[in-house]
Amino acid sequence: MNPQHSVGIVTPQVARFDEALSLTCGRELPYFELVYETYGALNERHSNAVLICHALSGHHHAAGYHSAEDKKPGWWDECIGPGKAIDTNRFFVVCLNNLGGCHGSTGPSSINPATGKPWGPDFPPIRTRDWVHSQARLADYLGIACWAAVIGGSLGGMQAMRWSLEYPERIRHCIVIAAALKLSAQNLAFNEVARQAIESDPNFAEGDYQAKNTVPARGLALARMIGHITYLSDDAMANKFGRDLRSGSLSKGEAANAEFQVQSYLRHQGSQFSGSFDANTYILMTRALDYFDLALEYDNDPVVAFSHARCSFLVISFSTDWRFSPERSREIVNALLAADRPVTYAEIEANEGHDAFLMPIPRYLDVFRAYMLRVGDDS
Amino acid sequence: MNPQHSVGIVTPQVARFDEALSLTCGRELPYFELVYETYGALNERHSNAVLICHALSGHHHAAGYHSAEDKKPGWWDECIGPGKAIDTNRFFVVCLNNLGGCHGSTGPSSINPATGKPWGPDFPPIRTRDWVHSQARLADYLGIACWAAVIGGSLGGMQAMRWSLEYPERIRHCIVIAAALKLSAQNLAFNEVARQAIESDPNFAEGDYQAKNTVPARGLALARMIGHITYLSDDAMANKFGRDLRSGSLSKGEAANAEFQVQSYLRHQGSQFSGSFDANTYILMTRALDYFDLALEYDNDPVVAFSHARCSFLVISFSTDWRFSPERSREIVNALLAADRPVTYAEIEANEGHDAFLMPIPRYLDVFRAYMLRVGDDS
């Protein structure tokens, strides 16, 4: 643990909701639990609360450490902490594990009350809107009538946008980083191959692996590798690995060994992930991503959609992000402008591809911090 | 069969080579066979022969039909035929299935003379240079002292470049389409995931699936899907599918069914491929691609490399190709210019991504045809 500029040691909490939640698919969850963390203190007027929405494989542990021995802080520790862009001296920051997740919130690994066994593949499909509705329950639970800001990168940015339409009176600022109004056919294709990789693993057992006491580790590792390539720019990969051979010399035997550094890196990433993430959750979350389409119920017109929003927006994109490129962010900005919504847009020069939103890129952090000062002014 | 502007019905031929072939890996093939097709007639001076080198999953059947019932012509029929860019009224065109292939040339499915069983995973690794050496044997066999042109797209373009260095006196023109001097880390990463998908399939049996009478069909299908995404531009996918739902409505059941058109398209492509291609060949060919590095033995300097060439070059790239982008072609062109080699470069505006090199794009065919008229002038 590195306590400097850190929120320090944090403890996850669990909120249980006993009123049923109606889902977009038509089914309902009779009850559910959400695991979450908070950083900073809620002010007297409850006006300084900020919600962090996580991306595809994220969770509630966004900042700080779980123990003094912890080596790695939360996934967005670069942005959340005392004096950081999301300044915990000023804001009460809430981050949860989304419904359907595998880090403590109700999801496919939880017990299905109807059967007494894990839901597994029978867990209902979740849409971004469902996440937003469940997050509103958490806001009620915490006594937060209106978020100072809802903030997210990638799939998290999509949740933030959905918040601006579902609960226009409950959000003052919406911060959308490296996101898009909907996925492109290429985005859909990568998600499909990732799911196919999981479903092709015989240990997947049509999603019933938990009951069979197996784990589709190879499929999940493959899915992660595919995702990982799309998070990095070609340049970032070149800088990280180039074409360096792992052993420094050409293997004559053409063994199944990784020969280039990038190969062993990918294998390492894949196997780490498959040991810590649930396959049904991965499928559920990629589907939520596939089906996200902000304007679908608004005549397929994002201008019509955003005309329902009441908050101010900050939109940020990164030059080498080819998963959700700056062009996709400009579509968001153009729709917001056409809908007469206040919007600030920053396109950050960064070499890191989509992953840039997690990185300490000075210009990015400066823009982010400057905007958050404005958020403070309203409260 | 559509006989218009076609070379008509063609019959593959087999050449057997009984002298051992030394390979880059240090091993040798005691003998080998190459299956090939020819279109047009060899002239008296044997000066009008053109070699077509195929790409990753290509083969010897580049033009014409195998029977009157054939619905689909060879893979490059758009470019090869009477009056086409590679005009069979003027050129004697040769296309072979590369060593290590699975369409009739000696490869992993062939019998290993040492064991009397299929080579399978024991087939020696092949490098682009080995292909060029085996193609030179085929040239000897056909009585071709010097190719009027060696032509290839993608991995085929890499073979064409290697020809210009290995046999500078045996090639007058080198045509390199949608290729690169070497793979980027991102290219390597995609190939690695494709191989991992195959090797993760339990039916792969460490490459010994033929002996076990199985086929790693799901792994091979996944590998093809991954490759396929990289062959198409985001735009091309958007035009082809957009986000259209296959059934026209959102599936409530979240079944394992393909919900978006792009998903069913990919699954179809994957399953077609896995029924017709050999997994060990796919691994062998992606590794040849990974290890291709034109300048590696020339002080890592492509200018030094190309200073050994004696032929003229045509280099073509496509604007939306993100597998081997125009920037990679310009690296080839810049090295050729610095090495004082005659080079023509065309960057074609095309929406089709890497696949554009197989498509009838008017500007592309015009440039290609115009250059080939020059090739005729030398003979």
| Residues 222-251 in A contacting B (C-alpha not used; CB under 8 Å) | 222, 225-226, 229, 232, 234, 237-238, 240-243, 250
Q: Do A43 and A109 sit in the same domain of this protein?
A: yes
The answer to whether B134 is a known catalytic residue is: no
Any domain includes A177: yes
Q: Do A307 and A273 sit in the same domain of this protein?
A: no
pLDDT tens string B240-257 = 887 887 654 444 344 446
For chain B, what is the largest distance between any 2 Cα atoms, rounded to a whole number of angstroms?
69
How far apart are the C-alpha atoms of B94 and B151, rounded to whole Å? 10
Q: Do A242 and A211 sit in the same domain of this protein?
A: yes
Phi then psi for A214, rounded to 5 degrees?
-120, 170
Q: Could you give the ipTM of this predicted complex?
A: 0.91
How far apart are the C-alpha atoms of A240 and B192, rounded to whole Å? 16
Q: Do B144 and B124 sit in the same domain of this protein?
A: yes
In degrees, rounded to 5, the angle at the alpha carbon of residue B140 between the alpha carbons of residues B134 and B144 is 115
Q: Which of B181, B281, B156, B262 is nearest to B223 (CA)?
A: B281
Structure-block tokens of residue A363: 């210009």
Q: Do A139 and A176 sit in the same domain of this protein?
A: yes
How far apart are the C-alpha atoms of A329 and A261, rounded to whole Å? 33
- Give the model's confidence band at B76: pLDDT under 50 very low, under 70 low, under 90 confident, else very high: very high
* pTM attached to this predicted model: 0.93
How far apart are the C-alpha atoms of B23 and B124, rounded to whole Å? 8
How far apart are the C-alpha atoms of B262 and B268, rounded to whole Å? 10
Q: Chain A contacts of B266, Cβ < 8 Å? A: 189, 192-193
Q: Do A36 and A155 sit in the same domain of this protein?
A: yes
Q: Chain B contacts of A240, Cβ < 8 Å? A: 185
CB pairs under 8 A between A and B: 142
List the single residue in A with minimal CA-CA distance to B293: A243
Q: Do A159 and A70 sit in the same domain of this protein?
A: yes
pLDDT reported for residue B378: 54
The answer to whether B354 is a known catalytic residue is: yes
Any domain includes A5: no
pLDDT tens string A344-359 = 999 999 999 999 999 9
The answer to whether B81 touches B74, Cβ cutoff 8 Å, is: no
Tell whether B145 is within 8 A of chain A (Cβ): no
Q: Do B31 and B143 sit in the same domain of this protein?
A: yes
Any domain includes A1: no
Any domain includes A255: yes
Any domain includes A128: yes
How far apart are the C-alpha atoms of A172 and A187, rounded to whole Å? 30
Picking from A253, A286, A319, the residue at the C-terminal end of a domain is: A286
CA B146 to chain centre: 21
Any domain includes B144: yes
Task: Please tell me which residue in A130, A201, A278, A321 is annotated as part of the active site.
Answer: A321
pLDDT reported for residue B231: 94
C-beta atoms of A200 and B199 within 8 A? no
CATH of the domain at B173: 3.40.50.1820
pLDDT tens string A33-67 = 999 999 999 999 999 999 999 999 999 999 999 99
SS (H, E, C) B202-235: HHHHHHCCCCCCCCCHHHHHHHHHHHHHHHCCHH
Q: Do B199 and B315 sit in the same domain of this protein?
A: no
Report the residue from B185, B196, B232 with minimal CB separation from A242: B185
Picking from A224, A253, A286, the residue at the C-terminal end of a domain is: A286
The answer to whether A354 is a known catalytic residue is: yes
Structure-block tokens of residue A337: 């402008």
- Asked whether the predicted pLDDT for residue A7 surpasses 80, the reply is yes
Pairwise pLDDT comparison (A341 vs A256), residue with the higher score:
A341
Report the residue from A184, A202, A238 with minimal CB separation from B202: A202
| Residues 6+ positions from B128 with CB-CB distance below 8 Å | B155, B158, B159, B162, B288, B291, B292
pLDDT tens string A177-215 = 999 999 999 999 999 999 999 999 999 999 999 999 999
CATH of the domain at A269: 1.10.1740.110
- Asked whether the predicted pLDDT for residue B202 surpasses 50, the reply is yes
Picking from B258, B286, B314, the residue at the C-terminal end of a domain is: B286
Q: Do A216 and A346 sit in the same domain of this protein?
A: no
Q: Do B58 and B135 sit in the same domain of this protein?
A: yes
pLDDT reported for residue A250: 42
Domain extent at residue B21: 13-182+295-378
Helix axes A261-274, A217-231, angle to 10 degrees: 120
Task: Please tell me which residue in A154, A164, A233, A329 is annotated as part of the active site.
Answer: A154
Structure-block tokens of residue A69: 């021995």
Structure-block tokens of residue A229: 């390539």
* Range B333-337 average pLDDT: 98
pLDDT tens string B274-323 = 989 999 999 999 999 999 999 999 999 999 999 999 999 999 999 999 99
pLDDT reported for residue B249: 42
Q: Chain B contacts of A254, Cβ < 8 Å? A: 25, 124-125, 287
- Asked whether the predicted pLDDT for residue A330 surpasses 90, the reply is yes
Any domain includes A4: no
Any domain includes B7: no
Report the residue from A188, A196, A199 with minimal CB separation from B262: A188
Report the residue from A192, A218, A241 with minimal CB separation from B200: A218
What is the dihedral sign for C-alpha A112, A116, A118, A119? negative
What is the total count of domains within chain A? 2
Q: Do A278 and A322 sit in the same domain of this protein?
A: no
pLDDT tens string B22-55 = 999 999 999 999 999 999 999 999 999 999 999 9
- Give the model's confidence band at A376: pLDDT under 50 very low, under 70 low, under 90 confident, else very high: confident
